[in-house]
Structure 1
Amino acid sequence: MIRLALLRHGHTSWNRTGRLQGRSDIPLDEDAYDALSKLRLPAAWNGADLVSSPLRRAVETAQLISGRAPDIEPALIEMNWGAWEGQHGATLAADDTSGFRHIEDWGWAYCPPQGEPPAALRDRLQPWVTGLRRDTVAVCHIGTMRVLLAMATGWNFDGPAPFQIKRNRLFVLHIKESSLTLDPAPVRLELR
């Protein structure tokens, strides 16, 4: 059995103001950089492979918590928010004509204008996950994590998610053949 630990990147200025980042390559903000430089991977994960989304905020997070450069994995890139990228989610949600939905009402096929649906992320992530041969820490994005956690829990983006993604925690998936299961308790990053 292979373990895959998922870690969400640190905050950016866009996260803090509620802007949809998607594929925009926004770096960590100064507060996140400072906070992450005081954290590290738990010792049990030191020998694991380290991979990251190609986006700077994920690469920086991986380097700060491990002290080494991650391998870049294109499959881990964030969901494409298309025409909504850079906009404020609250503004879109308040506009009845925008087509914006809260995540509990997405389903696998929901797609922002010129963006991509969760099903497209699932289709790109599945071969990568099943190809893993060693325990791996993957630093990525909330959209990527939601899809992988949905695959592990059977959640279909319909109603409240059976998990809550928080920062500075490893969400550990067990991979056996093509099936995923989720450890019930996330593992906190440790203080240096």
Structure 2
Amino acid sequence: MTFDRARRATLPFFAFIRHGETDWNAEGRMQGRKDIPLNDKGRGQAARNGEALKALLERDGIDLGGLDFVASPLSRTRETMEILRERLGLDPAAYRLDERLVEIGFGLWEGRTMEELASEDAERAAARRADKWGFLPPDGESYAMLSERIGGWLSTLDRPSVIVAHGGVMRVLRGLLIDMPTREIPVLDVPQDKVFLWRDGRDGWV
């Protein structure tokens, strides 16, 4: 399903959090669908985001009971969500999972760094540098394909929500919400220590 950009102004409030750091993030490895756990820094980032979100919700009088909490099924997103909910004073386990929010798949490249791939698979690495949006890793998924998947999910968003997912998902989500060339979307900054907000047709961070 393609997301209707005309609907952006009517989307409900939501907060999007990228999972905290993992060792593979720190090493620059393509993580994709591999189920890599948070490291201690990542747990601290999740706690920080929970505190920041709590302060925002309290300041703006947003009722926790009216929020839908949903996460990607990978363990790094589940642990981030559980830390977040604990900081909000909620049952850590009382949230739902959505397979559509899983990270972009890097296929056979998962676990590799770009430096390794530049040596081991130079032709494909060069093709990715030339067109990161459309490039399809072996047995993987392109950013263009991911955008279609996340656009379908976004089309179903019908209540205020707190979402925990991944860096690639955050990139294409922002690309769907904010007009920009597709070449810019795969290189957007995706902080693990900030909360992305969408409210009243505008984006922000906390």
Q: Larger relative CO (CA 8 A, sep 6+): 1 or 2?
A: 2
Residue in 2 aligned with 1:33? 43
Offset of residue 119 of structure 1: 2.0
Distance 1:157 1:90 in 2: 24
Structure 1 contact 104–159 (Cα < 8 Å) conserved: no
Q: TM-score, normalised by structure 1?
A: 0.81
User: Which is higher, the Rg of structure 1 or of structure 2?
Assistant: 2
**RMSD, aligned α-carbons:** 2.7
2:191 aligned partner, one-letter code: K
Offset of residue 164 of structure 1: 2.6
Q: CA 1:130–1:31 in structure 2 vs 1: closer, same or farther (change >3 Å)?
A: same
Q: Which has the higher strand share?
A: 1
Q: How does 1:35-50 map to 2 (within 5 A)?
A: 35-37=45-47, 39-40=49-50, 41-43=53-55, 44=57, 46-47=64-65, 48-50=67-69
Residue in 2 aligned with 1:76? 101
Q: CA 1:27–1:50 in structure 2 vs 1: closer, same or farther (change >3 Å)?
A: same
Q: Which has the higher helix share?
A: 2
Distance 1:163 1:182 in 2: 17
Distance 2:197 2:191 in 1: 13
Matched, 1:144 2:163: no
Question: What SS does the corresponding residue of 1:100 show, helix, strand or coil?
Answer: helix
Q: CA 1:186–1:17 in structure 2 vs 1: closer, same or farther (change >3 Å)?
A: same
Q: CA 1:94–1:149 in structure 2 vs 1: closer, same or farther (change >3 Å)?
A: farther
Residue in 2 aligned with 1:21? 31
Offset of residue 151 of structure 1: 1.1
Structure 1 contact 80–115 (Cα < 8 Å) conserved: yes
Q: CA 1:32–1:82 in structure 2 vs 1: closer, same or farther (change >3 Å)?
A: same
Which runs of at least 4 in structure 1 moved beyond 6 Å after TM superposition? none
Question: What SS does the corresponding residue of 1:154 show, helix, strand or coil?
Answer: coil
Q: CA 1:49–1:118 in structure 2 vs 1: closer, same or farther (change >3 Å)?
A: same
Residue in 1 aligned with 2:89? none
Q: Percent identity?
A: 33
1:63 aligned partner, one-letter code: E
Residue in 2 aligned with 1:178? none
Distance 1:105 1:157 in 2: 13
Matched, 1:3 2:22: no
Distance 1:31 1:167 in 2: 10
Note the residue ranges of structure 2 that are not aligned, 5 or more in a row. Answer: 1-9, 87-91
2:15 aligned partner, one-letter code: A
Q: Which moved more, 1:112-121 or 1:152-161?
A: 152-161
Structure 1 contact 84–112 (Cα < 8 Å) conserved: yes
The count of corresponding residues between Structure 1 and Structure 2 is 181
CA deviations 1:121-161 (Å, max 9, x no partner) are: 12222222121121111111100111111111233432477
Note the residue ranges of structure 1 that are not aligned, 5 or more in a row. Answer: 176-180, 188-192
